Structure formats: C-alpha cells, structure tokens
Amino acid sequence: MKSLFAKIYFIFFVAVLATAPICSQTDSDERMQKGFQFLQSEDFQSAGAVFSAVLRAEPDNDKARLGLAIALVGLEKPAEASREIAKLLARSPKDLKLLEMAAQTFWQQKRFAETEKVLKRRLDLGNASAEWWALYGDALDAQKKTVEAAAAYEKAVKANPDSINYRYALGSLYWKQIRYVEATREFTEILKREPNEPRASFNLGDIYLANGDAAKAVPFLEIAVKNFPDEFDTRFALGRAYLLTNKYQTAVEQLESAVKLRPEIAEGFYQLGLALQKNGRREEAKTAFKKAQELQKAQRDSEAPTTVPKGKP
C-alpha cells in the first residue's frame, strides 16, 4: 500500500467483499464480482469503470456505489469519492465506516471544517478508536481551535497511552497554550518510553529554557541538535542555553551554525553577538550586532505602511 488512500481502500474492501455474492447469477452480479476482483488487485481504474457501469443501470445499487467510492479513493480522487460517500450517507447517516471514510476524504482535500463536522457525527455514535480522536484533533488544530484540539487528543492518548505521536501532538498543543506543566508531563512520558526521542527532547528543553532553567535544558537540546543538526531552532536554542550557562565558546559554535542556516533572522545574530562579546571577541561581536540591526531595520521597513503620494489620480 503506497498511500493513505490505499489504507482506506483495504478497510472498506474487506467489508464489501464479505457481503459480495459468491456465485454469479446475473449480468449485474458478474460485473460486481469483476469489480471486486479489480479492487483486490488494486486496479482502481478498471474497478471504477465497472462500478460506474453498474450504477448507470442500477442507480440505487449501494454496493456498487461503495465500490466506486473505494476505487476513487484508490485513484486519489478524494473530491469525487466524497460525493459518492455523501450519497451513501444520505441513505445510511449512522454508518460508522462511511463516516470515517468521509472524514478521511475531506481531510485529504484540506476541508477541515467538513472533516470536523463529519467526525463529530462519528464520535457522537461512540466506540471510536484513538485514530479518529486524533484526526478530529488535527482538524480542530488546523482551524486554530487549539483548546478543543487538545481535548480531542487527550481522548486519543487515553485510548492509546503508548502512542508517541499522540502524546507529542498533545504536548505540542499544550505548549501552544503555554500550559507548560501539562506539556512537560507529556514530553516526559515520551522520554520514559524513548529516552532519546528528539522532538520531545527539543520541546522539553525549550520549555526549561523559556522558564529560566538553562542548565536543565542543555542535555535535552543536545539530543535535539544531534538528531536535527540542520535545523535553526535546535542550534539557536542550544546556543542560548550554553550562553546562559556560561559556556561561551560552545555557544558561539552553535549560534554560528544557526545563523548560517537562517541568515535572515536578526535574533540569531544578536545572540551570536552576545556570545562573542562574552568570549572576548569584541570586534566580531560588533559585526554581529550591526548585522542584527540591519536585519531589524529591513524588517521594520518591510512592515511599514506604504505612503501614497498626493497628486492627481
């Protein structure tokens, strides 16, 4: 399976195949069986053609419509699949699998409000797995509904407490809300399971740094830099942590790497200037501070409102 679409296909294919006729009795049955065979071999183009032909003759054949929706999913045509699923849901509005499939196709189209709406219908019916609470959280987060997204991910984590990804998402949502105590708890739980998990290490280090405990931040940020050496954020954070713990030479090294990665960020040069100054390299520090000022001025100028000259139109 090469994509999420293929994953969805298999979920629904099993359900469809289980109720397919065993022995062909009519022309329609023969075509349906052929369509199922095409789905099984992942020949979605041929399957779609077969099920479309059946639907032209039998517009109310829900099995053929579901087969067509699966084929469209396999062809990575989520918008067209959504339309077919909507027709099925009109007849079976509480079908759990159809609601889940609809949510996935809306998500693939970045139609986050529709994803949220259809998943709420699904979740209200109960017995939802962690996967659906997580997708619900993602749909809410995509709409900047951070508090609601965190509540959804809390349920995902409760359903699957060993999931590193769910805990990381929940911790990140807490971090966005400056709920550092809860965020620290989630990232710590991740590191209990995977001591060198780099994303949790970075976020935990960043929280300690933001709360003035640079010494505690250092070992976590070192793990992050080791795993993400080409990321500005990791180098910059570790450089600041070294600077605040009086490790000036190593601070310079990290901040020099940071500004090479993102030379347009003024704060990078400003912190580098501080580290160079503390390290006794005053002329180099002046150069870094000057660069920071130039970048800050350029940023202010770009954000300043444009003055329209007076005169005749």
Q: Where residue 20 sits, what CATH number does that domain have? A: 1.25.40.10
pLDDT at 308 over 80: no
Mean pLDDT of the chain: 90
pLDDT at residue 261 in the model: 98
Q: How confident is the model at residue 24 (pLDDT cuts 50, 70, 90)?
A: very low
* Residue 51 resides in a domain: yes
Q: How confident is the model at residue 10 (pLDDT cuts 50, 70, 90)?
A: low
* Residue 2 resides in a domain: yes
pLDDT at residue 1 in the model: 40
pLDDT at residue 29 in the model: 82
List the structure tokens of 136. Answer: 């619900």
- For 4, the domain range is 1-108
> Position of tokens 């032909």?
53
Q: pLDDT tens, 108-134?
A: 999 999 999 999 999 999 999 999 999
List the structure tokens of 63. Answer: 């099995």
List the structure tokens of 254. Answer: 């990290």
Distance CA 253, CA 250 (A): 5
Q: pLDDT tens, 260-285?
A: 999 999 999 999 999 999 999 999 99
Positions of E strands within the chain: none
* Residue 161 resides in a domain: no
* Residue 243 resides in a domain: no
Distance CA 65, CA 77 (A): 15
Q: pLDDT tens, 215-228?
A: 999 999 999 999 99
pLDDT at 96 over 90: yes
User: Rg of the chain's alpha carbons, rounded to an integer?
Assistant: 27
Distance CA 27, CA 32 (A): 9
Which is more confidently placed, 20 or 251? 251
**Percent of the chain beyond pLDDT 70?**
88
* Residue 250 resides in a domain: no
pLDDT at 104 over 70: yes
CB 306 within 8 A of CB 286: no
Provide the number of structural domains found in the chain: 1
Work out the number of other CB atoms within 10 angstroms of the CB of residue 212: 9
What pTM value is reported for the model? 0.82
* Residue 310 resides in a domain: no
